[in-house]
Structure 1
Amino acid sequence: MSQLFPEAVIRPVELAEADGVVCIRTASASDVKSLSVYFTDLSPTSRNKRFMGARADLAVVAAQCLAKTDRPDHFTLFAEFRQAGRRTIIGETHYAYDAAARHGEFAISVADAFQRMGFGLQMLNAMETRAIDLGHEMIAGETARTNAEMRGLARKAGFSDTGLGDWQSVHLAKRLSRQP
């Protein structure tokens, strides 16, 4: 991507008001502790929305998210705030391809202080680009019916409600295609 951020998935975004840079990068197996800390630091509301319920085993979940990073069809992307030599995860999206269903599934979260700044949409776009590069044609996710923020983000990113959810959840899907 650039000399300064060689592992960046997209161009880093400067945050002038915070005197730092946000970089979206691919996570690796060595990031388990950092991801666990990120999940723990999410507000209870954001954590509940990310996992569609309460979770106490955040270190286990972090390890599961990063367990298959050696396989191209499973990956996690981080939005990482970099300031004065420190790196802090401020968002994550996890993607896993389901060969039987013939589509990728995803989950996403953004730290409370960085919500509504466009990082969720940037992470979704980066995830979709990677899925397209892998030859995948469809991506799907599920969210609680009450999660208006995620439903709005998905709509903005071009996802549609498939009608496959139940009384508590909404199933979202998007057909992937290369832009001309």
Structure 2
Amino acid sequence: MPQLFPEAVARPLELAEANGMVRIRSACASDVENLSVYFTGLSVTSRNKRFMGARTDLASVAAECVAKAGRPDHFTLLAEFGQEGQRRIIGETHYAYDAAARHGEFAISVADAFQRMGLGFQMMNAMETRAIDLGHEMIAGETARTNAEMRGLAKKAGFSDTGLGDWQSVHLAKRLSHPR
């Protein structure tokens, strides 16, 4: 990885539309406050889509994302935008392996100003790569039936509707391909 982003878990990418570089990296304990600020900065619509409902305890959610990331089979990846020496979180994905169900579950969000630039797809690829490295074979998520953006992103990333959702939600899953 270029020295500009030494902690990156994926190749840094340039967002031409935003005139800056983005790195995707693992979250650490020092990210709690910035992750809380990020969650607070999401529009009400984006926050509701990320959490599948209203949440007011965003500082607690940020702390949980980072605290659980230290456990085996759990991680949070952050997308940071760098421009003129400044960096800020513009996306996150949280992953947790469910041993009983034998698949990983994830949640993802991208800051409103950075949506539809391919960042969500890049974050999902980084998450899948990390899950494969952990030896996981299946990854799943749930989204509201009304969340057309997430359903489209999941389809583009190779997820299928499992039919396990209810009248309000869609359950999506993907079998992970391990390199041979």
Once residues 162 and 150 of structure 2 are traced to their aligned partners in structure 1, the CA distance between those partners, rounded to angstroms, is 15
Once residues 12 and 24 of structure 1 are traced to their aligned partners in structure 2, the CA distance between those partners, rounded to angstroms, is 7
SS of the residue 2:130 aligns to:
helix
Once residues 56 and 174 of structure 1 are traced to their aligned partners in structure 2, the CA distance between those partners, rounded to angstroms, is 31
* Alignment: residue pair count: 180
Once residues 174 and 19 of structure 2 are traced to their aligned partners in structure 1, the CA distance between those partners, rounded to angstroms, is 36
1:35 maps onto 2:35 in alignment: yes
1:160 maps onto 2:160 in alignment: yes
Once residues 99 and 158 of structure 1 are traced to their aligned partners in structure 2, the CA distance between those partners, rounded to angstroms, is 22
Once residues 61 and 17 of structure 2 are traced to their aligned partners in structure 1, the CA distance between those partners, rounded to angstroms, is 33
Q: Where does residue 116 of structure 1 map in the other structure?
A: 116
CA RMSD, Structure 1 to Structure 2 (Å): 1.1
**The 10-residue stretch of structure 1 (69-78 or 94-103) with the greater mean CA deviation from structure 2:** 69-78
Deviations 1:113-141 (A, max 9, x none): 00000000000000000000000000000
Alpha-carbon contact 1:78-1:93 (below 8 Å) kept: yes
Question: Can you give the 5+ residue segments of structure 2 that lack an aligned partner in the other structure?
Answer: none
**Where do residues 40-79 of structure 1 align in structure 2 (5 Å cutoff)?**
40-79=40-79
TM-score (norm 2): 0.96
Question: Can you give the 5+ residue segments of structure 1 that lack an aligned partner in the other structure?
Answer: none
**The 10-residue stretch of structure 1 (51-60 or 19-28) with the greater mean CA deviation from structure 2:** 19-28
**Where do residues 165-176 of structure 1 align in structure 2 (5 Å cutoff)?**
165-176=165-176
Compute the displacement of 1:86 (Å). 1.2
Q: Where does residue 132 of structure 1 map in the other structure?
A: 132
SS of the residue 2:68 aligns to:
coil
SS of the residue 1:67 aligns to:
helix
Identity, % of aligned positions: 83
Q: Where does residue 13 of structure 1 map in the other structure?
A: 13
Deviations 1:9-63 (A, max 9, x none): 1111123454321111111121000000000000000000000000010001111
